Chains A and B, each alone.
Chain A
Amino acid sequence: MVYDAGHYDTIVVGAGHAGVEAGLAAARMGAKTLMLSLNLDMVAFMPCNPSIGGPAKGIVVREIDALGGEMAKTIDKAYIQMRMLNTGKGPAVQALRAQADKPIYIKEMKQTLENQKNLTLRQGMVDDLIIEDGVCKGVITETGAAYRAETVIITTGTFMRGKVLMGDLEYESGPNNQRPSIKLSENLEKLGIELVRFKTGTPPRVNSHTIDYSKTEIQPGDDKPQGFSYETTEFIMDQIPCWLTYTNEFTHQIINDNLGLSAMYSGAKRGTGPRYCPSIEDKIVRFNDKPRHQVFLEPEGRDTEEVYVQGLSTSLPESVQHEIIRSVPGLENAEMMRPGYAIEYDAVVPTQLWPTLELKNIPGLFTAGQINGTSGYEEAAAQGIMAGINAAAKVLGKEPVILDRSQGYIGVLIDDLVTKGTKEPYRLLTSRAEYRLLLRHDNADLRLTDIGYELGLISEERYQRFQMKKQLVEEEKERLRKITIKPTPEVQTMLEGAGATPLREPMKAYDLLKRPELNYELIDQVIESNTEIPTDVKEQIDIQVKYEGYIKKANEQVERMKKMEDKKIPDDIDYDAISGLATEARQKLKLVRPLSVGQASRISGVNPADVSILLVYIEQGRIAKIAN
């Protein structure tokens, strides 16, 4: 029995990592927002690995924070361990990773949602959309509640027609035995939305009391206090280690003997899984010469004994999983608490979306997160905040926000999805970014805080602090340009200590800082100290000065890219009318409907000649308009 359940500006379907960011961003921008979740105890639930961040992903978390999102702040309150990765490498690829306390993360995030003004949190299963004249106008739940809204964001993750697979057992289910979303998927298909079948998997969990840690290697967190959010000031210093062990030939023998029993190897046609997160079966089949594979033991929280067995993702029958676990050193007597499984689900083919994450063919309807063919909490959250911003902007009559590839990994992620699509669950990698040196974790605030502030997602107080930091960096760089360092004994001693060649002639402090062996702290010892400079400013100066030449080169590339991004393609363009286009290019252009010539040039199958022809055609239209 359908009843009128109320009217909102924006409705968010789902409260996973994409949903919570979408709902919070929309509500904070001033849109009256409803968030519907299947199970309010599972808000921002982590169904797979208990960690957030890592290369590329960690930078995304900081970008979300700079835009005023919640993931960074929440994990900063809910980690059991924090590590900076790639510290031995360049600044562009360093990234934080936290081991999360899953229950705490849920608790913190739920509280944030409950306390958010303009946001209504409600339990419910959405079965259908209200579509009027081709425009999305709301949702209908299984209980008959019809909620009307100007914009709807679907963030249903892996729930759509989810199917759990383990050996020959298979049943319709969302992750962790939650109810799957069946009707919504069917109804999206009826609306003409193209879906694709993907799969992913998760490893078994074991009881910590039954692990012999003496046979494993400890993996502690960093001693240095650090966090994701630019607002975090208190850091959790009581950290819990992870542990490392390995599979061996016995493990591999068990897997080989039982390969036919694996749901993914039994011969049935299955969804496409990600290459970067292979099951243990995949690893052994594809890399059969490897004598061992790493297995990380990661606690799922402080107040639980469940340990995530990273590296043993599998869809083998439960009985075989017991055997596999017990073949691994340290896990000989381990008690499995939950078996691993593979899960298949429906995803929306993302080339159907505008870069705002709104569906091209159904105005008012947005999708974000794993439903768009990505994987990973961070990728989901990134899309969530952008969809939330754009859905709210649409309601509030504001300009849409589209980040380009030089502004953030978020821009890279969304541009890749909507321009190229994806054939497997998409994960961000640093190598997907062509301007990696510009997209660093240390400068996410410098890149995006202005945008967050403009949208009203960054507090006045935080913005003032940010402005101050920016100013300090510039002023201090200017000061270093003016200070001359002479080859005094004091200076030579400092240089020698740092393993740098001695100074022959006087040099500007700024130029001396460019030497790879030196940093701000060392230079600071031999010049008049500026006591007002905080650590993050010093770090910023170090990086900006040291890599100045490379950054400049990258910026020049960005300028060239931007010229093509600025060439907008009119939305009424008729690609069939452009005779010179190659057939493949024409088809792809009609499908993707790029907003700019720059975006068009990134579509595979659109070659430089097609781009030239497109430019000429657009210009022709422009001239024609002037003539009229």
Chain B
Amino acid sequence: MFETDTITAISTPIGEGAISIVRLSGANAIEITSKIYKGKNLAEVDSHTIHYGKIIDPATNDVAEEVMVTVMRGPKTFTREDVVEINCHGGLVSVNRVLEIVLSQGARLAEPGEFTKRAFLNGRIDLSQAEAVMDLIRAKTDKAMNVALKQMDGRLSSLIKKYRQSLLETVAHVEVNIDYPEYDDVEEMSHEMMRQKTKEVHAEIEELLSVAKQGKILREGIATAIIGRPNVGKSSLLNALVQESKAIVTDIPGTTRDIIEEYVNVRGIPLRLVDTAGIRETEDIVERIGVERSRQALKEADLILFVLNYNEELNEEDLRLFEAIQGLEYIVIINKTDLEQKLDLEKVKELVGDKRIVTTSLLMEEGIAELEGAIADSFFAGEIDSGDLTYVSNARHIQLLNQSKKALEDAMDSLEMGMPLDIVQIDVTRTWEFLGEIIGDTASDSLIDQLFSQFCLGK
């Protein structure tokens, strides 16, 4: 909303191209990039030039990504401000990591349509297009809100509401002490009570963020393993998913990346296909390394696609695999239904219990839609690793959680310094506001409502 700060966003469609671009625009675009870029001095390079280098995560000093950086100085840019474009590898992981690093260095995530808005406000787009700009902002905002809402786990929003309520009660408590100093019914809020509350919520937010970082989240994809005996159709399954989703194998020629992760996009859910301990490649892994170790290896996956052959009877190897995946999240795919049935379906159902079974003929391209449905269901129903996981998938949410965490840390610092509670409370209120932005609740009267419902106030 404030036209001078530096904004950033991923400016390429997610997961659909060989290259993804993080774009920055604003007075500090070059400075911010310089802080995280190892390569030429970007402050000195010519405008409209592109440079090879590395993005360094300042938190760990690790190389986060190899990139090509384009530097364009205003006013000859789309927004007429300084613009930097960081070209990353395709796929979700690298570009998201770079975006997060950029955000951590002081850029603000762009509002929907904000680059275009700036282009207009800075006179880059002419008057006749103003109407289109406004429509675009409206459309993009609505879409972003829908997506954000859809992406937001119901559990996440209820957790956020819980933290907010808890902070709100604390703030109301401080406020009642201030606005009604003679009100004797509640004990005066103490530094110790405040310290406990901030610590408590801070730990919760850290937990949410660490889960977000563990890669167990939508934006990095669901780690998915395809297992099964040789020749049951694992490769066909992979190909079918890849084909359906127009997914991309993210190797860019000419780069030195040697681990290739594959993404497929199933009804908007990114699956990261992992070859857990070589299970996909090797014959009878369970026999080779034992059930327990296989289980450990398979546990790295959020979702297991276990392929059986319709045309063969269950054998020892299948049973060992069943044993190895007990208690994990899996879908059984019975493939080759175009051939004669030899598989004991009753037996399979018994082994599978309440997990999903999908029958396919990958050869005849049958059953793929059902499989995709099953994958999507298991994700949206929250079945995947549903024990203690809350998905924080939206970069905006992550940024707001980070801001909340920072504000709480400021509050904790003030407590340490022995500042009065009404000063500490400023940052606690900010935390409450940031969390409110995540769930779209920014009504400013809540505090006053809380004050009067929580306390019986007179003088």
Interface residues of A (CB under 8 A from B): 55-56, 85-86, 89-90, 92-93, 275-278, 283, 286-287, 290, 293-294, 296, 310-311, 429-432, 436-437, 516-517, 547, 550, 554, 560, 563-564, 578-580, 582, 601, 604, 608-609, 611-613, 615-617, 619-620, 623-624, 627
Q: Is the CB of B175 within 8 A of A613?
A: no
Q: Decide if B325 is an interface residue (CB 8 Å cutoff).
A: no
Q: Decide if B388 is an interface residue (CB 8 Å cutoff).
A: no
Q: Decide if B114 is an interface residue (CB 8 Å cutoff).
A: yes
Question: Given the complex, which residues of A lie within 8 Å of B185, measured CB to CB?
Answer: 290
Q: Is the CB of A612 within 8 A of B1?
A: yes
Partner of A286 from B182, B419, B456 at Cβ < 8 Å: B456
What is the CA–CA distance of A89 and B177 in the complex, to the nearest angstrom? Answer: 9
* 104-119 of chain B: CB within 8 A of chain A: 111-114, 117
Q: Is the CB of A275 within 8 A of B452?
A: yes
Q: Is the CB of B179 within 8 A of A430?
A: yes
Which residue on A lies nearest to B178, using beta carbons? A93
Question: Given the complex, which residues of B lie within 8 Å of A311, measured CB to CB?
Answer: 458-459
Which residue on A lies nearest to B181, using beta carbons? A85
Partner of B458 from A293, A554, A563, A608 at Cβ < 8 Å: A293
**How close is A247's CB to chain B, nearest CB, in angstroms?**
11
Q: Is the CB of A550 within 8 A of B137?
A: no
What is the CA–CA distance of A613 and B138 in the complex, to the nearest angstrom? Answer: 8
Q: Is the CB of B179 within 8 A of A431?
A: yes
User: C-beta contact mask, B386-430 vs A, less than 8 Å → 1, else 0?
Assistant: 000000000000000000000000000010011111110010000
User: C-beta contact mask, B109-153 vs A, less than 8 Å → 1, else 0?
Assistant: 001111001001101000100110111011001100000000000
What is the CA–CA distance of A616 and B418 in the complex, to the nearest angstrom? Answer: 46
Q: Is the CB of A431 within 8 A of B448?
A: yes
Q: Is the CB of B123 within 8 A of A623?
A: yes
Q: Decide if B348 is an interface residue (CB 8 Å cutoff).
A: no
**How close is A162's CB to chain B, nearest CB, in angstroms?**
23
Question: Given the complex, which residues of A lie within 8 Å of B458, measured CB to CB?
Answer: 277-278, 283, 293-294, 310-311
Q: A89-B420, A290-B185, A431-B179 are in contact. Are A612 and B117 (CB under 8 A)?
A: yes
Question: Given the complex, which residues of B lie within 8 Å of A89, measured CB to CB?
Answer: 177-178, 420-422
Q: Decide if B84 is an interface residue (CB 8 Å cutoff).
A: no
**How close is A426's CB to chain B, nearest CB, in angstroms?**
10
Once A and B bind, how many residue pairs between them come within 8 Å at the CB atom? 139
Which residue on A lies nearest to B458, using beta carbons? A311
Interface residues of B (CB under 8 A from A): 1-4, 111-114, 117, 120-121, 123, 127, 130-131, 133-135, 137-138, 141-142, 171, 175, 177-185, 414, 417-423, 426, 443-444, 447-448, 451-452, 456-459
A selection of 25 A-B contacts at a CB cut-off of 8 Å is A89-B178, A92-B422, A93-B178, A275-B457, A276-B457, A278-B458, A286-B456, A287-B456, A294-B183, A294-B459, A310-B458, A430-B422, A431-B178, A431-B447, A431-B451, A550-B419, A563-B4, A564-B2, A582-B138, A609-B141, A612-B141, A616-B130, A616-B133, A619-B120, A624-B127
Q: Is the CB of A547 within 8 A of B423?
A: yes
Question: Given the complex, which residues of A lie within 8 Å of B112, measured CB to CB?
Answer: 609
What is the CA–CA distance of A175 and B141 in the complex, to the nearest angstrom? Answer: 52
Q: Is the CB of A56 within 8 A of B419?
A: no
Which residue on A lies nearest to B414, using beta carbons? A550
**How close is A284's CB to chain B, nearest CB, in angstroms?**
9
Seed contacts A429-B448, A431-B447; 10 additional CB < 8 Å A-B pairs: A55-B179, A85-B181, A86-B178, A90-B420, A90-B422, A92-B423, A294-B183, A296-B182, A296-B459, A613-B138
Question: Given the complex, which residues of B lie within 8 Å of A287, measured CB to CB?
Answer: 456
Q: Is the CB of B452 within 8 A of A293?
A: no
**How close is B331's CB to chain A, nearest CB, in angstroms?**
40
List of 9 A-B pairs having minimum Cβ-Cβ separation, nearest first? A90-B420, A580-B134, A609-B141, A287-B456, A275-B452, A620-B130, A516-B418, A580-B138, A90-B422
Question: Given the complex, which residues of A lie within 8 Å of B181, measured CB to CB?
Answer: 55, 85-86
What is the CA–CA distance of A430 and B456 in the complex, to the nearest angstrom? Answer: 18
Partner of A611 from B1, B133, B175 at Cβ < 8 Å: B1
Q: Is the CB of A431 within 8 A of B419?
A: no
Question: Given the complex, which residues of A lie within 8 Å of B417, measured CB to CB?
Answer: 516
Question: Given the complex, which residues of A lie within 8 Å of B414, measured CB to CB?
Answer: 550
**How close is B172's CB to chain A, nearest CB, in angstroms?**
8
Q: A55-B178, A278-B458, A608-B1 are in contact. Are A93 and B419 (CB under 8 A)?
A: no
Q: Is the CB of B456 within 8 A of A278?
A: yes
Q: Is the CB of B421 within 8 A of A612?
A: no
Q: A616-B120, A619-B120 are in contact. Are A294 and B182 (CB under 8 A)?
A: yes
Question: Given the complex, which residues of A lie within 8 Å of B422, measured CB to CB?
Answer: 89-90, 92-93, 430, 436
